[in-house]
Structure 1
Amino acid sequence: MYKSVKQTNLETRILKMLEGKPLQAAQMLFNDPELQTMQEYANIVAIRRLGYNDHGPVHMRKATLNAIKMFKLLNEAGIKMNLEKEGVGKAEDSLTAVLLSSLLHDLGMSIARDSHEILSIQLAIPFIDRILNEIYNPEELMTKTAIKATAIEGIFGHMATKHIHSLEAGLVLIGDGSDMEKGRARIPAMLSSEPRVGDIHRTSASAIQRVRIHKGEEKPIAITVEMNASVGFFQVEEVFFPKINNSPVKPYIELYAGVIDRELLRYL
């Protein structure tokens, strides 16, 4: 099973951040050739057929890494996830839901862009069931049910076009949106130099040099977006900010953006 160096490095970073059931789930997903093939094909359709940016193995792992970082910052700040608050799971169960959702959220791009989140749910369910049946005991049925439902909610809501209500799903939404560094738009930019409708998205994404997720000064999470040109503000204001605005995690986030070596603008 071939994997790019970038994908392998991301998997290594993710595995180092996990333990227990989330670690088991990640290992199973990373070693699944069927999932690898499906994610690769999603990227072929997204980039070559539709002209979008990366929606494949690297993107889904980058979104996962971002979501895990934010989960840990909330956990360190004593913020309980919904499964724990509702008495149906522990922190590791919530993290398992976030992991499953993030790693599977764009499978539907292998079929179409329109309603791809709904298609992703259909394609993701067999993987979710397989993993939960492997790492959870039959008597943990309520926890398994809650994890599956929450993972599906995260996939359902990752486009910020549907209302979501759990912190777990909110992390998936923002983790996905945080993957907007220039590398994500590199391949479609190389494949086509002809002007086309929607190029502002590709141009603005190319201006984003770095997205840092770190501990905030006033809130648990700070996200800093660094760009090399002001066109990058389009990506922040028209694509990323609406995702944060629609996320239940919004109250715990500070958002900063700016051109490198200039003053940062604070949004939240």
Structure 2
Amino acid sequence: MAFEVPVQGNDILSTILERANSDEELKALWKASNINAIDRLGFSDHGSTHVRIVARNALKMLRLLMEAGHQPGVVRNYGLTKEDAEVVVVLASAMHDIGLSVHREDHDEFSIMLSPPILRRLLKGLYEEPTLTYMIAETQHAMISHHEGFVPYTIEGGVVRVADALDMEKGRARIPFASGSINIHSVSALAIDKVRVGKGHERPIQIDILMNNSAGIFQVDELLKEKIARSGLRDLITVEVKVPEAESGIVKGLRL
């Protein structure tokens, strides 16, 4: 499946998407990341499907924040455009996990090491120096911001951080669950039917999480909550969780 997001008239972003979808190195890194994540570690997908979900949610949140008057870092600090901020967010989403192709441990730092030649290739001819280097630096900042050890300085980094945690609908947990990884991570992820990002009423961003079982609270309280708290966007996001009165059964039992 192609790496696609709604470009909404952003011609540079459209060109970058075309280049990304034909870049053999980037596609190979997505596949290699999944070899480690799925085949060797029994985790959920961290390749092309994951980055597409992250990119779409991150871009949607960025646009909602800009619509509400919040300035991206590339606009505030470098005098670039909102469209350039969209490029940063999409590229960071595309590459934040490519370091998993090397190893799970410190994969965020491996992603930073692997990304410069790919970024320069994707951005070639679209930006001149020094703007090209600014764009690469801002993209790498947003990439590293998804990791728990790094607090984002920009809303670009903040939305990538939060979007990474929003990839938790139940279909995303089927691979580790089916392979026998029955634990709170896989069970709680199976409890989440839908994640929706939209325009909020009191805050710019509204995240609705629809669950079929209260086990999904773990995903929100232990994972998403921390991501939002350290995103720099805490006061700009509302999260609403809906759990049905009649819960569905996920596991019938467990033998230890």
Q: Which residue identity does 1:251 align to in structure 2?
A: D
Code of the aligned partner of 1:147: M
The match for 1:193 is 180
Equivalent residues of 1:211, 1:225 under 8 A apart: yes
Q: What is residue 251 of structure 2 aligned with on the other side?
A: none
CA contact (8 A) 1:25 1:135 kept: no
Encode CA deviations 1:129-165: one digit per residue, 9 max, x unaligned. Answer: 11222311x3xx2322221111111111212221221
Decide which moves more: 232-241 or 245-254. Answer: 245-254
For 1:118 and 1:108, the matched residues in 2 are separated by 7
Q: Which residue of 1 aligns with 2:231?
A: 247
Q: CA RMSD in A?
A: 1.7
1:172 corresponds to 2:160: yes
> Contact 1:42/1:56 (CA < 8 Å) preserved in 2?
yes
Please give the alpha-carbon distance, in whole angstroms, between the structure 2 residues aligned to 1:168 and 1:240.
17
Contact 1:15 1:26 in 2 (8 A): no
Aligned to 1:154: 142
Task: Give 1:116's aligned residue.
Answer: 107
CA distance in 2, matches of 1:114, 1:36: 21
Q: Is 92-101 or 153-162 further displaced after alignment?
A: 153-162
- Is residue 2:46 matched to residue 1:58? no
Which residue matches 2:217?
233
Runs of 5+ unmatched residues, structure 1:
1-6, 263-268
Q: Residue 85 of structure 2: which of 77, 81, 94 is its match?
A: 94
Distance 2:233 2:11 in 1: 24
> Is 1:85 paired with 2:76?
yes
User: How far did residue 52 of structure 1 move?
Assistant: 1.2
Superposed displacement of residue 48, structure 1:
1.1
Matches of 1:20 and 1:226, distance apart in 2: 35
> Corresponding residue for 1:217?
201
Runs of 4+ in 1 over 3 A off after TM superposition: 15-18
Match of 1:73 among 64, 71, 77: 64
Cα separation, 2, equivalents of 1:194 and 1:176 = 21
Per-residue Cα deviation, 1:63-104 (whole angstroms, up to 9, x for no partner): 001011111111222221111112431111111111110001
Which stretch shifts more, 236-245 or 81-90? 81-90
Displacement after TM superposition at 1:16 (Å): 4.7
Aligned partner letter, 2:189: A
- Partners in 2 of 1:235 and 1:61 — Cα distance? 20
Deviation larger for 216-225 or 14-23: 14-23
Contact 2:93 2:143 in 1 (8 A): yes
User: TM-score with structure 1 length normalisation?
Assistant: 0.87
Higher helix content, 1 or 2? 1
Q: Aligned letter for 1:152?
A: Q
In structure 2, C-alpha distance between the alignment counterparts of 1:110 and 1:18, rounded to whole Å = 33
How big is the shift at 1:251? 2.3
SS of 2:130's partner is helix
Paired AA for residue 153 in structure 2: H
| Distance in 2 between residues matched to 1:160 and 1:109, nearest whole Å | 16
Partner of 1:22: 13
Name stretches of at least 5 consecutive residues in structure 2 with no aligned partner. Answer: 247-256
State the SS of the aligned residue for 2:125.
helix
TM-score normalised by structure 2 residue count: 0.90
* 3-state SS, counterpart of residue 222 of structure 2: helix
Percent identical among aligned pairs is: 36
Q: Which amino acid aligns with 1:163?
A: V
State the match for 2:116 in structure 1. 125
CA distance 1:18–1:32, change in 2 (3 Å) = farther
